[in-house]
Structure 1
Amino acid sequence: MNIVHEQAKRVYKMFVDFDGTITRRDIGEQIFLQYGDTQKAEAIIKRISSRELTSVEGWKALFEILHPVSIDELTKFVRSFEIDSAFLRLVSFAQEQQVEMIILSDGFEFYIRTILERENITGIPIYSNRLIEDGSGKPQPVFPYRDEECKDCANCKRNHVIENSGDDEFTVYIGNGSSDVCP
């Protein structure tokens, strides 16, 4: 019996943050603490958390202090990060109840996909920032979902929720970080 859909015959969607929500730790931060100047990374992360820097400004500052490293090397590094065991149950529940799940992240797609593939989780749309290799010896961030009106986030999650939700749909958002609130 499909409990959720039996009650109202409505479409249900679940939007979920990644870093620190699906994973136990913020993988984006850990990359710069491992492969960048640790003291500078900590200071930049603190400025992002206190909203002294916008997400875009913060990411750009973090990439400036990143030591030369390939995306392949970063991918190997992120494979060791754990997801919250509750997330696996949430994915199972969403599939059983036919609730569409969408991941929204101010982090980067390469590590989200790496973690999901490791856990054999497929079919979940991801809206996040991206990395490219430009020949400089270290990856560069790309912000395909930046909204000029949204000054705080590199990936405007609000827009994704609006664009992927209908007026008659029931929407749930799960996230606990500074990029999970719309000022």
Structure 2
Amino acid sequence: MEYIIICDFDGTITLNDTVNAMADEFSVGDWRKLDEMWICGKCSGSEVSQKILEMIDTDEHKLREFIKNIKIDPYFKEFMEYIKEKVIEFYIVSDGFDFNIETILEENEIIGVICFSNMLQFEGKKLMGFYPNVNEDCKKCGNCKRNIITNVNIENKKIIYIGDGYSDRCAAKLGDYIFAKGELANHLKEENIDFIEFNNFKDILLKIKEII
């Protein structure tokens, strides 16, 4: 049996959500009200993301220095070593931004990982988001993880999904095995969908060794 692992980034690989952290650090205004509008379905994911970016007052250098200090799960590198050894297909899918992901992976010397996310560009202190994987029929999230999984899993492998948040809801349900914590775990409980609850990647690694 062959497997493909699809993994969220913010709050899953990282200990804190990088977009929330940078908004807390640099925004001028109450950005969390916008986040609530997204959860309630009043705004699309890309609309809310851009509005939050417009509230952030920083530049590329300051943001990079801040983001690089956000910690990752202490067992993630061990997990990556194992799946590379077993040659298991692995992708990061995120409704956050490429700048944050690339900065943290580089800081932690993690290379060769294929990532799908929203894109962040700088025009001085102006931050602009780009959303190449938005689902025009839904627009709930800036980066449609469900469509990405369908596109990358061309060999119809068994899907192992790892996530923690609202943007993982649709995609996680494609998983043959779902690892969840936080908001995603609460949602799956409400929907009576089987999943494996985890605290960190040590938990995930032990279970994946059993699965494969």
Give the TM interval when normalised to the shorter protein: 0.7 to 0.9
Match of 2:170 in 1: 182
Structure 2: which amino acid aligns with 1:64? E
Q: 1:66 to 1:59 in 2, by over 3 A?
A: same
SS in 1 for 2:137: coil
Structure 2: how far apart are the matches of 1:144 and 1:48? Answer: 19
TM-score normalised over the length of structure 1: 0.86
Alignment of 1:10-159 (within 5 A): 10=2, 12-38=3-29, 40-67=30-57, 69-135=58-124, 137-159=125-147
Q: Whole-Å Cα distance in 2 between the matches of residues 138 and 89 of structure 1? A: 37
**Partner residue, 1:5:** none
Would you identify which runs of 4 or more consecutive aligned residues in structure 1 move more than 4 Å?
A: none
Structure 2 letter corresponding to 1:177:
G
Say which is worse superposed, 158-167 or 18-27, in terms of deviation: 158-167
Residue 123 of structure 1 and its aligned partner are, at CA, apart by 0.7
Report the secondary structure of 2:170's partner residue: coil
| Cα deviation, residue 50, structure 1 | 4.0
Cα separation, 1, equivalents of 2:13 and 2:66: 17
Report Cα offsets for 1:100-123 as digits up to 9, x if no partner: 110000000011011111111111
CA distance in 2, matches of 1:114, 1:43: 27
**CA distance in structure 1 between the aligned counterparts of 2:153 and 2:68, rounded to whole angstroms:** 32
The CA RMSD over aligned residues, in Å, is 1.7
Q: Deviations over 1:68-107 (max 9, x none)?
A: x222221111011000113222212211211111000000
Q: Deviations over 1:14-53 (max 9, x none)?
A: 1100000000110101111111125x11222233344443
Corresponding residue for 2:209?
none
Secondary structure at 2:77 match in 1? helix
The 8 Å contact of residues 20 and 26 in structure 1, kept in 2 or not, is answered as yes
User: How far 1:167 sits from its partner (Å)?
Assistant: 4.5
Name the amino acid aligned to 1:34: E
Other structure's SS at 1:139 match:
strand
Inter-partner Cα distance in structure 1 for 2:156 and 2:17: 34
Contact 1:29 1:45 in 2 (8 A): no
CA distance in 2, matches of 1:71, 1:33: 16
**Identity across the alignment (%):** 31
Partner of 1:4: none
CA contact (8 A) 1:33 1:42 kept: no
* Match runs of 1:1-16 below 5 Å: 8=1, 10=2, 12-16=3-7
Cα distance change of structure 1 residues 168 and 64 upon mapping to structure 2, 3 Å threshold: closer
Unmatched runs of 5 consecutive residues or more in structure 1: 1-7
